Amino acid sequence: MKVNYLSKEGYDKLTAELRDLVTRGRKEIAKQINEARAHGDLSENAEYDAAKEAQGKMEARISELEKIIANSRVLDGKNIDNSKAYVLSTVTILNRKTQKEMKYTLVSKDEADFNKGKISVDSPIGKSLMGKAIGDVVNVKVPAGTLELEIRNIERL
């Protein structure tokens, strides 16, 4: 399985979510199932069916988090070469067509949050920036066409 590189913050967030689901989440679902069982006939009990479905989704998320965490390595951005864009690099790019400058931090897919300026290294833009240096120009195919992006700056978290 592919190694998943995370920041310390991202790793802590995922482990906290897992811990919450395993402790509080499982207890709450068990309580909901017991309450629904008390309502009688399970074959026509919508509350019971909903609680069992929620339990299945939660267990799937727990399993997913366990796999992500088991295959993760925490990176310290301070020890990464600043001359090229890698995971945990904050890259300032210029869209040559619109002359608009944007700043993104390259992270794993599990930490990606576009609203916070964190894009996945597996996204089209993230892939194109990996391993590139300041001054490099990359062409990125996106649904709206092709973007021509110039790397203006690279810094670490």
pTM of the entire structure? 0.72
84 and 41 co-located in one domain: no
Separation CA 113–CA 136 (nearest Å): 25
85 and 14 co-located in one domain: no
Identify the CATH number of the domain in which residue 17 sits.
Answer: 1.10.287.180
111 and 151 co-located in one domain: yes
19 and 82 co-located in one domain: no
> Can you give the pLDDT of all 157 residues of the chain as single tens digits?
677 888 888 899 999 999 999 999 999 999 988 888 887 776 777 888 888 999 999 999 999 999 999 998 887 766 666 789 988 899 999 999 999 999 999 998 889 999 999 999 999 999 999 999 999 999 999 888 899 999 999 987 6
Separation CA 25–CA 37 (nearest Å): 18
85 and 65 co-located in one domain: no
Separation CA 24–CA 29 (nearest Å): 9
99 and 51 co-located in one domain: no
Alpha-carbon dihedral 76, 82, 87, 93, rounded to 10 degrees: 140
Residue finishing a domain among 50, 74, 98? 74
Strands 89-95 and 72-74: unpaired
Strands 72-74 and 145-156: unpaired
Looking at the 3D structure of the chain, how many domains does it have?
2
Residue finishing a domain among 34, 58, 74? 74
Separation CA 97–CA 140 (nearest Å): 12
67 and 83 co-located in one domain: no
Residue 157: count other Cβ atoms within 10 Å of its Cβ: 15
Separation CA 29–CA 117 (nearest Å): 34
User: Which residues form the domain of 130?
Assistant: 77-156
140 and 93 co-located in one domain: yes
121 and 84 co-located in one domain: yes
